[in-house]
Amino acid sequence: MGDLHRGRQSFVFDRHPAILATSAIGGKKEQEGPLTAYFDYTDLDTKFKQKTWEKAESTMQALALESAKKKLRLKDDDIDLLLAGDLLNQCISSSYSVRDTGVPFLGLYGACSTMAEGLCLAGMSVNGGYVRTAGVISSSHFASAERQYRFPLGYGGQRTPTAQWTVTGAACALLGHREKGPFLNAATIGAVMDYGIKDANNMGAAMAPAAYHTLRAHFDDLGLTPSDYDLIVTGDLGMVGKEILLDLFRKDGISIGGVYDDCGTMIFDLQKQDVHAGGSGCGCGSVVLCGYLLSLMKKGKYKNILFCGTGALHSPTSLQQSESIPGVCHAVSIGMERR
């Protein structure tokens, strides 16, 4: 067993866990967006036939797990470990979605970085031989998030230009060993970065520095450059955070513009869908990765992508107590070939 640790923050997956199957579930606005064809299921009923938005979000997670399992004809018993997280207080979408599965479960809180965090940990667990098949699930729901973080929707509050629209979506990725890619090749775990942003309607600015530091660490630790990837994609920086990240790299004299994009600017039509700075939430990066991007990888459009989950680690309480908003970002290197 070798030393897989690289540099300060990174490690390699020497046995290259494969992404066996993924799924993406979305709501009405996601169905109306440009990536509609890449969802396994979307529902025009934002409550997914449940009584509350919280139960709807849990239902989306369960649907995501079902869809992914179906593609591999797996039963719950075939999955050794599930890691899941969401934005709701005490991560109830996740705990309630898995309670009838009987699958060993570890809950995560990485805010919108949850899918990347889960891939790092599930990747470790499969790569190391602790489990054979591991799954990651994450979700967010516009209505449950607005009620919890900002205002109940009934108030009809105004949104600022830097505000992002929480994606109603859930995604699942199942990992295991297989000869065919996509494979997890390496990962970089981010530290919490706090640049003093206090505006809960400008998450992009709060998270961009974390994305910058994680990307720099990834390249430094593993001796890579942006051109080693066909696509470097952040989870949900939106228009504002995306520009800040490009600026931060420009100051270093490094151009990532040619291969860089952000899931928050891809999932909605920013001109027509009135989402201001773009999409956000645990569901944003995860459905774009698990629905759209991995589909394009399998079709040959991308050989290597670096998926960078970005999260803002505040709460309404921390903001009321005058705290700033810390960000975090974890990066997972996914390739159609082992490298």
8 Å CB contact between 205 and 244? yes
Q: Tell the smallest beta-carbon distance from residue 320 to its own copies (Å).
A: 9
Let me know how long the chain is. 339
Q: What are phi and psi of 322, to 5 degrees?
A: 65, 20
Residue number, 35 or 248, with CB nearest to its own copies? 248
Give the angle 93-215-249 at the CA atoms, nearest 5°: 125
For 225, counting Cβ atoms within 10 Å of its Cβ (0-12 exposed, 13-18 middle, 19+ buried), the class is exposed
Residues 7 and 217: beta-carbon distance below 8 Å: yes
Report the residue number, 22 or 97, with the smaller CB distance to its own copies: 97
Distance CA 310, CA 115 (A): 9
- Return the number of the residue (31 or 95) whose C-beta is nearest its own copies: 95
Cβ-based nearer residue to its own copies, 90 or 227:
90
Q: Which is nearer to its own copies, 118 or 169 (CB)?
A: 118
Closer Cβ to its own copies, 41 or 105, answer by number = 105
The residue ranges that bind its own copies (CB under 8 A) are 1-5, 8-9, 11, 14-15, 51-52, 54-55, 80-81, 85, 87-92, 94-96, 98-111, 117, 120-121, 124-125, 127-132, 189-194, 313-318, 321, 323, 326, 328, 330
* Least distance from its own copies to the Cβ atom of residue 296, Å: 28
CB of 87 to its own copies, least distance (A): 8
Tokens linked to 316 = 């309404």
* 189 and 151 Cβ atoms separated by less than 8 Å: no
Smallest gap from residue 182 Cβ to its own copies (A): 20
Residue 247, H or E segment:
helix 238-251
> How far from the centroid of its chain's Cα atoms is residue 40's Cα?
17
Closest approach, Cβ 91 to its own copies, in A, equals 4
Q: How far is the CB of 144 from its own copies (least distance, A)?
A: 9
Q: Enter the DSSP assignment of 274.
A: -
Q: What is the DSSP string of 42-93?
A: E-SSTTTTSSSHHHHHHHHHHHHHHHHHHHHT--GGG--EEEEEESSGGGHH
CA nearest to 311, candidates 288, 293, 284: 284
Residue (of 329, 65, 14, 27) closest to 203 by Cα position: 329
Give min distance, CB of 339 to its own copies, in A: 18
Q: Quick one: 21 or 111, whose CB is closer to its own copies?
A: 111
C-beta of 331: minimal distance to its own copies in Å?
11
11 vs 292, beta carbon nearer its own copies: 11
